[in-house]
């Protein structure tokens, strides 16, 4: 199964509707857009991992707001723990869950040229955004989390925020 198919199957299985469709050339990231809380993608998109990052924005939004999300989603300020950091941490957890290479997410065409640094950061078990995911009750962090038997990041207790 292709990486794209694995990602699409995973997203649909956790409740993030993902369909192939028309995406404007101006879309960012290329070949992907969010419409009404759903992901629409062009099969010829250059980086399938971008689906995971965009899904991270949907997943970290409170359930009551998810269907209102569209391109350029930015909940920063209005909703705590739904920022770029949490979307990126969520996407990395999905990469780990799917057993994909981190370069699928942190590809050379994204993250403002910091892909290599992000790969090194996450490989060193430094997880920007994981604290926010924990505060949103999606995972757990910290030394006592394992002792409590919690799903410790990058494992997720739940893929969608309540």
CA–CA gap between residue 88 and residue 105 (Å, rounded): 9
The model's pTM is 0.95
CA–CA gap between residue 133 and residue 129 (Å, rounded): 7
Q: For 98-148, what is each residue's pLDDT tens digit? A: 999 999 999 998 888 899 999 999 999 999 999 999 999 999 998 878 888
pLDDT of residue 74: 66
What is the DSSP track for 82-142? -SHHHHHHHHHHHHHHHT--GGGTS-TTSGGGTHHHHHHHHHTT--TTHHHHHHTTSSB-S
Best CA proximity match to 18, nearest among 29, 33, 3, 1? 33
Q: For 95-108, what is each residue's pLDDT tens digit? A: 999 999 999 999 99
pLDDT, averaged across the chain? 94
C-alpha pair distances (Å), 117 with each of 1, 11, 74, 98, 120? 29, 26, 24, 21, 5
Do residues 79 and 57 make contact, with C-beta atoms less than 8 angstroms apart?
no
pLDDT (average), residues 52-70: 95
pLDDT of residue 122: 98
pLDDT of residue 147: 84
pLDDT (average), residues 54-82: 86
pLDDT category, 71, cuts 50, 70, 90? confident
CA–CA gap between residue 153 and residue 141 (Å, rounded): 6
Best CA proximity match to 75, nearest among 89, 94, 56, 103? 56
pLDDT category, 63, cuts 50, 70, 90? very high
CA–CA gap between residue 55 and residue 122 (Å, rounded): 19
């Amino acid at each position: 199964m292709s990486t794209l198919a694995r990602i699409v199957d995973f997203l649909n299985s956790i409740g993030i509707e993902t369909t192939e469709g028309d995406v404007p050339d101006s879309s960012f990231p290329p070949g992907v857009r969010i419409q009404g809380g759903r992901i629409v993608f062009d099969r010829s998109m250059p980086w399938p991992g971008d689906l995971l990052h965009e899904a991270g924005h949907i997943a970290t939004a409170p359930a009551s707001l998810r269907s209102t999300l569209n391109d350029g989603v930015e909940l920063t300020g209005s909703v705590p723990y739904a920022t770029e950091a949490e979307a990126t941490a969520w996407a990395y957890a999905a990469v780990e869950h799917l057993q994909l290479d981190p370069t699928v997410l942190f590809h050379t065409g994204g993250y403002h040229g910091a892909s290599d640094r992000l790969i090194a950061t996450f490989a060193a078990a430094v997880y920007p955004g994981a604290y926010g995911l924990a505060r949103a009750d999606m995972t757990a962090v910290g030394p006592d989390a394992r002792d409590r038997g919690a799903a410790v990041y990058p494992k997720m207790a739940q893929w969608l925020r309540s």
